[in-house]
Structures are given as C-alpha cells and as structure tokens.
Amino acid sequence: MTQKNDNTKTALLAELNGLLADHFALYTKTKNFHWHVKGPRFRDLHLLFDEQAVEIRDQIDDIGERVRKQGGKTLTSIGSVAKHTQIKDQDSTDLEPDAMVKELRNDNVLVVERLKGLKPLAEETGDNATDGLLDDWTDMAEERVWFLNSVLGEEPKGD
C-alpha cells in the first residue's frame, strides 16, 4: 500500500470513529429529549424521539464493526466518545419541545455532513462495503432531518 493510501485509510478510520462517537452522543441526547419532553405534543415527540434513538443505536455496532474490519481500533470509553464527537452535550431537562427538535435537527445535519465527507475517503481506499453503507446511513440521517424539519414546519434545505 502506498503512503497516500495509508494516509487515506488512517483518515477513513479516524472519521469512522468520529461517526461512531457522533452516534453515541446523538443517541444519548435523543433519549434525553425522549425522557424529558413535555407539553401538548408530548406523545408525538416522545414516540418520534424514541424511534430516532433506536435507529441511531442500531447503527452503532455496524459503524464499530466497519472500523474493526478495516484493521482499526474503535472508541473505548465515554471519554473517547467525548473527544471525537462533534455533537454538543445538552444537560438541560427543561428545554421547550421546539428547542429539542431544532437541536436534534442541527445535530443530524452534522452527521449528514460527516457521512458525506466519508464517502470520498471510502472510495479512495477502495472500501466498497463502507462506501455502500455510507449511502444507507446518509439516507437514514437525511430522513431524520426531514422529519424534524417537518415537525418545525420547515422545508429541507437543498445541497
């Protein structure tokens, strides 16, 4: 393998671990909001947040296994998740429902951006399996953004 390919693979593994960290952090935040949402839309948002949390949680293992299948090491602790995620903590249990929805929408947008940034790395390393999974994961994250935008009555922003 050439130095360029080694560097690209190292970058791909680092970004996959970043994606893994984002999913752990986003899962935790989504569950926080699921548990603490209140108001007239409680039931709808409680169920939406739970559905999205389950989808995010179910991707965690797949992402970690992609890192391992490529010969990399995965995140090992809450500290390593915190070090590698771009998702900001939210410790408040008193946010208004729309603030929760906006925050989750914005966080999912960050996940979409990371996924799209991973695509050229997977292609350059010839990692067809990761390349294909990225398409599926991007579609899922874009759907979460769409649902959250729809709750807010906003139209999605095109590329």
Average pLDDT over residues 99-105: 98
Average pLDDT over residues 90-108: 97
CA distance 143 to 108: 9
If 0-12 CB within 10 Å is exposed, 13-18 middle and 19+ buried, where does residue 142 land?
A: middle
Q: How many CA atoms lie within 13 A of 113 on its CB side?
A: 8
User: Pick from 58, 60, 97: which is nearest to 81 by CA?
Assistant: 60
If 0-12 CB within 10 Å is exposed, 13-18 middle and 19+ buried, where does residue 157 land?
A: exposed
> How many CB atoms within 10 Å of residue 79?
9
CA distance 27 to 89: 11
Residue that is written with structure tokens 């090491």 in the block = 73
For the chain, give every domain's residue range.
3-152
pLDDT in tens, 125-151: 999 999 999 999 999 999 999 999 999
pTM summary value: 0.93
Sequence-ordered list of residues with C-beta below 8 angstroms from that of 57, at least 6 positions apart, any chain: 23, 27
Residue 1 has pLDDT above 70, yes or no: no
Domain 3-152, CATH number (from 1.20.1260.10, 3.50.50.60, 3.40.50.720, 3.40.50.2000): 1.20.1260.10
Check residue 6 and give its pLDDT.
80
Residue 159 has pLDDT above 70, yes or no: no
In angstroms, what is the C-alpha Rg of the chain? 16
pLDDT in tens, 23-81: 999 999 999 999 999 999 999 999 999 999 999 999 999 999 999 999 999 999 999 99
Q: 3-class DSSP state for residue 78?
A: helix
